[in-house]
Amino acid sequence: MTKPTPLNVEIVLDPKRYIVSETDAKGKITYCNDYFMEVSGYNEEELIGAPHNIVRHPDMPKVVFKLLWETISAGKNINAVVKNLAKDGRYYWIFTEFEIRKDTDTGAVIGYHASRKTISKHVIEIISELYAELLEIENKDGVEASQDYLVNFLKSKGDDVDFSNIMEEIHRFY
């Protein structure tokens, strides 16, 4: 499936509704709610079994997903602000809470549950500037350089601030 051409048109989300999806351990979609389908523009047949990156917007730095996967693969939940791409090329910003799903018998990670909610324009402005900087670094010097920049950015915010914490703090206070 070819990715849509991004349009500079934002989809305004309903603050009273959540976008929900679940994936297997490899990131393939196993469940999506009606609101996810409505906002993304994909139907259930297009989404189930597809990699979740079907909605990844090209404005998103790869380092964000690298850190997300490292965190959830280590068995830890994480929150992140993500810009997604709808099937028609429009975009939407969301605050996503990624939770691990484990096999009740073995404790092995079997997949992930993600619920998403709207975020304020001010948070989007802050995050979009950071993401643009990370993306520029990635395009010039690679993902490792982008990660170095992000680590130093987080250290400048405090010793105990990690990627998940900064997302929560920005979302909470702005």
Chain centre to alpha carbon of residue 147: 16
Where exactly are the structural domains of the chain? Answer: 19-173
**What secondary structure does DSSP assign to 60-101, as a single string?**
S-HHHHHHHHHHHHTT--EEEEEEEE-TTS-EEEEEEEEEEE
As a whole number, the mean pLDDT across the chain is: 89
> 36 or 173, which is more confident?
36
Is the pLDDT at 173 greater than 60? The verdict is no
The confidence band for 119, taking pLDDT boundaries of 50, 70 and 90, is confident
pLDDT at position 88, please? 98
Tally of CB atoms within 10 A around 111 = 20
The confidence band for 174, taking pLDDT boundaries of 50, 70 and 90, is very low
CATH topology of domain 19-173: Beta-Lactamase (3.30.450)
For the chain, state the CA radius of gyration. 16
Cα separation, 67 vs 70, whole angstroms: 5
For the chain, what is the total number of helices (H) and then of strands (E)?
6, 5
